[in-house]
C-alpha cells in the first residue's frame, strides 16, 4: 500500500539513526542532560509524556536546543496531547501503540509519527496509515532478524526498534536494516538521578560511534 505523502523522519534523526529516549521524574531535569547529549554528538531525543511537565517545558527546550537537537515527544496515547505537542513545536511524535485516532491526529497536524507495535498486523497498520517509521516494541522480544522477516511481506517498511536496545544490539539492529534505533536506559544510566554527566557523555559518544559506523559515515 503506497502512501505518497508519507512524512519522513526529521532529517537530523534520519541521518543520526539514533533516538535517545529520556524518561525522568520531572521535566525540569531535562536541560543538563540535553546539553550533555548534544555536546556528545546526539542529534535526536524523545521526551516522554510519562515525565510530568514535558509539554509545558517543550517550548523552552526547543528554544534552547532546537538548533542542535531534534526533539520528539513520546509515550503519546491521547490525540489531544499529540495536537498540543505539535502546536508547541515538537519535531516528531512517538507512541507505544498503533491506534487510528493517533495516526489521524498526526496526519491532520502534519507531523511525523512513529507508532509502536510488535506483531506484523500492528506494524503494517501503522505503516499503511502513513507513519514515518514503525517502532518495534519491545524489541528485545524479537531481535534484529525481525527486520528481514517484516520486509518479506512489507517491502520498504521503515523500522525503529525500542526497548532493551543496548550498545551491542544497536549495532546488530542497524546491520540488519533498521532505519534507526531507540535507546533509553543503556545510554542514560543514572544521569537523571544525579549520576555523572561526564559518564553520560562517554556512553553517548560510544553509541554515536556505533550508529555512525553502521550508517557508513
Alpha-carbon distance 199 to 195, whole Å? 8
134: helix, strand or coil: strand
Tell me: pLDDT of 96 over 90: yes
pLDDT of residue 213: 82
Among all residues, which ones are annotated catalytic? 46, 135
Alpha-carbon distance 30 to 124, whole Å? 33
Alpha-carbon distance 77 to 101, whole Å? 10
DSSP at 118: S
Tell me: pLDDT of 1 over 50: no
Q: What is the pLDDT of residues 56-89, one digit of tens each?
A: 999 999 999 999 999 999 999 999 999 999 999 9
Tell me the percentage of the chain whose pLDDT exceeds 90.
94
User: Binning pLDDT at 50, 70 and 90, where does residue 5 land?
Assistant: confident
Choice among 5-9, 27-31, 131-135, 185-189 with the minimum mean pLDDT: 5-9
Nearest residue to 75 via CA among 55, 45, 47: 47
According to CATH, the superfamily of the domain at 11-214 is Aldolase class I (3.20.20.70)
Q: What is the pLDDT of residues 132-186, one digit of tens each?
A: 999 999 999 999 999 999 999 999 999 999 999 999 999 999 999 999 999 999 9
53 backbone φψ class: left, alpha, beta (φ>0; ψ -120 to 50): left
Residues 6+ apart with CB under 8 A from 92: 9, 10, 13, 70, 72, 73, 111, 112, 113, 114, 132
Tell me the percentage of the chain whose pLDDT exceeds 70.
97
Residues 6+ apart with CB under 8 A from 87: 109
User: Binning pLDDT at 50, 70 and 90, where does residue 215 land?
Assistant: low
Amino acid at each position: 500500500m503506497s502512501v505518497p505523502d508519507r512524512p519522513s523522519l526529521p532529517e537530523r534523526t534520519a541521518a543520526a539513526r539514533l533516538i535517545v529516549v529520556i524518561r525522568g521524574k520531572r521535566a525540569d531535569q531535562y536541560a543538563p542532560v540535553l546539553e550533555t547529549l548534544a555536546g556528545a554528538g546526539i542529534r535526536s531525543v524523545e521526551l516522554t509524556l510519562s515525565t510530568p511537565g514535558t509539554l509545558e517545558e517543550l517550548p523552552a527546550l526547543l528554544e534552547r536546543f532546537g538548533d542542535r537537537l531534534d526533539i520528539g515527544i513520546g509515550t503519546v496515547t491521547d490525540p489531544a496531547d499529540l495536537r498540543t505537542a505539535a502546536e508547541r513545536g515538537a519535531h516528531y511524535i512517538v507512541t507505544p501503540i498503533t491506534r487510528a485516532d493517533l495516526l489521524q491526529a498526526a496526519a491532520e497536524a502534519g507531523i511525523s509519527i512513529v507508532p509502536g507495535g510488535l506483531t506484523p498486523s500492528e506494524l503494517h497498520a501503522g505503516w499503511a496509515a502513513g507513519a514515518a517509521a514503525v517502532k518495534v516494541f519491545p524489541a528485545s522480544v524479537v531481535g534484529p532478524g525481525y527486520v528481514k522477516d517484516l520486509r518479506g511481506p512489507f517491502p520498504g517498511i521503515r523500522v525503529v526498534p525500542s526497548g532493551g536496545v543496548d550498545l551491542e544490539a544497536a549495532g546488530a539492529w542497524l546491520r540488519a536494516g533498521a532505519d534507526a534505533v531507540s535507546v533509553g536506559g543503556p545510554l542514560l544510566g543514572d544521569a537523571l538521578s544525579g549520576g555523572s554527566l561526564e559518564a553520560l557523555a562517554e556512553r553517548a559518544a560510544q553509541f554515536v560511534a556505533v550508529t555512525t559506523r553502521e550508517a557508513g559515515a
